[in-house]
Amino acid sequence: MTACHVAAYRGKQEVLQKIWNWATENLTAEELSNKLLLGTDNEGLTACYVAARWGKLDIVWKIWEWANKYLATEEMNNKLLLSTDNEGMTAIQKGAERGKRDIFRQIWNWCN
C-alpha cells in the first residue's frame, strides 16, 4: 500500500495534496500517471478506488481532477473508473454496495 492509498483510505486530503505537490515537482508526467494516479496496492486497487470504497468523496473528486490533467480519456475510463477489485467489482459497484450514494452518484455523473 502506498502513502496515497493510506491517505485515500483515511480521507486525509491535506496529506494527499502534499504528496501530489512533491510529486509534481519531482516526477515526470508519465510517473505521475503510472505511479500516483494508476498505481495499485497489493490488492490491485488504485487510490481512487480505495477512496470510493470507503466513501471519501472529496478524495475521489481530487484524484479525478488530477487525472483529467494527466490521463488520456481511455486511461481514465479503463484504468481509473472501470478498474476492478479481486471480486471483479468496480468502484461504482462497491460504492453502491456499501450504501455510499454520493460516491455512486458522482461516479455515475462522470460516466455520462
Q: Residue 47: which CATH number?
A: 1.25.40.20
* pLDDT computed for residue 14 by the predictor: 95
Q: Determine the average pLDDT of the residues in 93-106.
A: 72
Q: Determine the average pLDDT of the residues in 83-92.
A: 84
In the chain, how many domains are there?
Answer: 1
Handedness of CA 14, 89, 2, 21 (dihedral sign): negative
- Tell me the pLDDT tens digit for each residue of 56-71: 888 988 998 999 899 9
What is the three-class DSSP state of 108? helix
Structure-model confidence comparison of residues 23 and 73, the more confident one? 23
The yes-or-no verdict on residue 109 having pLDDT over 80 is no
Which domain, by its residues, includes 99?
3-111
* pTM for the structure as a whole: 0.84
Which of 19, 56, 55 lies closest to 36, judged by CA? 19
Measured CA to CA in angstroms, residue 77 lies from 6, 15, 46, 99 at distances of 23, 26, 13, 23
Q: In angstroms, rounded to a whole number, what is the distance separating the alpha carbons of residues 52 and 81?
A: 10
Measured CA to CA in angstroms, residue 13 lies from 5, 56, 86 at distances of 11, 9, 26
Pure H helices in the chain: 3-10, 13-26, 29-31, 47-53, 57-70, 73-75, 91-97, 101-111
Q: Determine the average pLDDT of the residues in 102-108.
A: 70
Q: Which grid coordinates are listed for 51?
A: 477512496
